Structure 1
Amino acid sequence: MYFQLNDATADMLAKSRRRGDLCDLPLNLITSEEEAYYIQSTAQDALGFERKGYALVGTSEASRRTLGLDKPIYSEIPAFALLAGVQQFRLPAGAIGAQCEFVFTMLRPFPDEGEPITLESAAASILGCRPAIGIIGRRSRHIYSGDHAAIADFGLHVATICGEYYAAADDLTDIDLTAFLFKRTVVSGNSSSVMGNPLSALVWLAKELRATGKRLEANDVVATGSCTTILQVLPGQHLAADFGPLGQVECVFS
């Protein structure tokens, strides 16, 4: 994509996200990951909302296959898209589906200067964990495969719907999860599908941010990406996800 078009592309993406509709953009012309994240960041600025943390997509092999991604991607979460205790959520145009995921809340900035980024240091930086349903979708009416288009399009993030807060977050390596539509089991999964351990997703993100001169801040949330396949959800459906010891999260879509 011609560099001078990046800002205009970002502005169109922001308008489409704000209105909940689709636009015509040649996102397949984005030539690099750097350019894609620049467009995403500029679009976030155009939205004008406070950022609440980060959402990851493609942290499991099954989700990458469904979405046509080669590796995990991330985006910032605007304040209006981080929800808790909601009973109903309106699916916008371009919605792809739902992912059952973990959401960490940061206790402190991470990493501190010179701090190694490891599973142990990540666990020590977390205040707690919650079960969540992540809604993913596109703002472009054209479906482009590959990482660059997905990154630019807000990392495919639409909303993060969180369940009740759970304090412990130190042993998430083998938590079974079951998702239900209208109380009928549709898919099962395990926390190990997320990079072997959901904390590994936080470690990966912290390293990606450090490479760009950023870090996680206190009270930031980190949505880890799906530990099941991506679930297609439609208006009128009720989705519930049971995370065993972490509790449940549910939502009706309209």
Structure 2
Amino acid sequence: MYFELKDATADILAKSRRREDLCDLPLNLIASEKEAYDIQAIAQDALGFARKGYAIVGTSDASRRTLGLTTPVFSEIPAYALLEGVKEFRLPPETIGIQCEFMFTVRRAYPEERELINRKTASDAMLACRPAIGIIGRRTRRAFIGDYAAIADFGLHVATICGDPAPRIPLGEVAKIDVTTFLFKHSVFSGEASSVMGDPLNAVVWLAAELAAKGRQLNPNDVVATGSCTKILQVWAGQHLAADFGPLGQIECIFS
């Protein structure tokens, strides 16, 4: 894809995200992962917002099957789309569903120069973990299946709702957490933290390696939303969702 087409595609995606409307871009024509991430980066720049960290989608087998992905994908989180203290969220038209996920806060630059990227170093680089709700969706009227379309379309990220700061627990214990979700106070389904790449910290490791391969790194105070530890749940306006993350506490939201 020529740079001019990348630029035009990215500009349309950015306008669609900003206006919360849908477009008719043929994202199935994107030919490579590099093209897809190039388009995403140009679109993020076109949005013009500061970045607060990264959101990952497709870190569990169930979520990849639902979304038609073969691998996890990631995107930066614009400042306006990282929501704290929010108890109500208006669903935009492109919404696919929500994912209950873990959100790490980065303590230091990671990876540092020549630092090995693994669970041990990732744990050292993280400050804390808390629950989060990720809203995922598309900006195109037609649902294109595949990694490249998802990457270009902001990694399917719409918004990330942060739970309250959680009690400090050893990050090595996060993988043992069970998560139960409720709609209208009825238990819907449960999930295990270990469904996220075996351990949510592995999602951080994966992201750090992906960034390092592109000459980038996680920075202090970035957040990393790890992707769904349960099935992706379709929600509708008027529904109330609550998720119990055990020792990390609960998070809830009313969708409108």
TM-score over 0.5 for the alignment?
yes
- Looking at structure 2, the residues matched to 156 and 99 of structure 1 have their Cα atoms a distance apart, in angstroms, of 12
Matched residue, 2:98: 98
Instruction: Give the drift of 1:113.
Output: 0.5
Instruction: Give the drift of 1:174.
Output: 1.4
Aligned pairs (5 A) from 1:61-140:
61-140=61-140
- Looking at structure 2, the residues matched to 51 and 151 of structure 1 have their Cα atoms a distance apart, in angstroms, of 17
Matched residue, 1:234: 236
Report % sequence identity: 69
- Looking at structure 2, the residues matched to 18 and 181 of structure 1 have their Cα atoms a distance apart, in angstroms, of 29
Matched residue, 2:173: 171
Instruction: Give the drift of 1:170.
Output: 2.9
Instruction: Give the drift of 1:209.
Output: 0.2
Instruction: Give the drift of 1:173.
Output: 1.6
- Looking at structure 1, the residues matched to 203 and 142 of structure 2 have their Cα atoms a distance apart, in angstroms, of 29
SS at match of 2:10: helix
Normalising by structure 2, report the TM-score: 0.98
Aligned pairs (5 A) from 1:124-203:
124-166=124-166, 167-168=168-169, 169-203=171-205
| Deviation by residue 1:124-171 (Cα, 9 ceiling, x = unmatched) | 111101100000000001111000000000000000001111233232
Q: Structure 1: where are the runs of 5+ without partners?
A: none
| Corresponding residue pairs, total | 254
Q: Structure 2: where are the runs of 5+ without partners?
A: none
- Looking at structure 1, the residues matched to 74 and 100 of structure 2 have their Cα atoms a distance apart, in angstroms, of 16
Aligned pairs (5 A) from 1:7-86:
7-86=7-86
- Looking at structure 2, the residues matched to 147 and 78 of structure 1 have their Cα atoms a distance apart, in angstroms, of 21
| Deviation by residue 1:175-231 (Cα, 9 ceiling, x = unmatched) | 100000111111100000000000000000000000000000000000000001100
Aligned pairs (5 A) from 1:201-240:
201-240=203-242
C-alpha RMSD over aligned residues: 0.8
> Which portions of structure 1, spanning 4 or more consecutive aligned residues, are displaced by more than 2 angstroms?
1-4, 166-170
- Looking at structure 2, the residues matched to 94 and 182 of structure 1 have their Cα atoms a distance apart, in angstroms, of 23
| Deviation by residue 1:28-84 (Cα, 9 ceiling, x = unmatched) | 000000000000000000000000000000000000000000000000000000011
- Looking at structure 1, the residues matched to 236 and 9 of structure 2 have their Cα atoms a distance apart, in angstroms, of 29
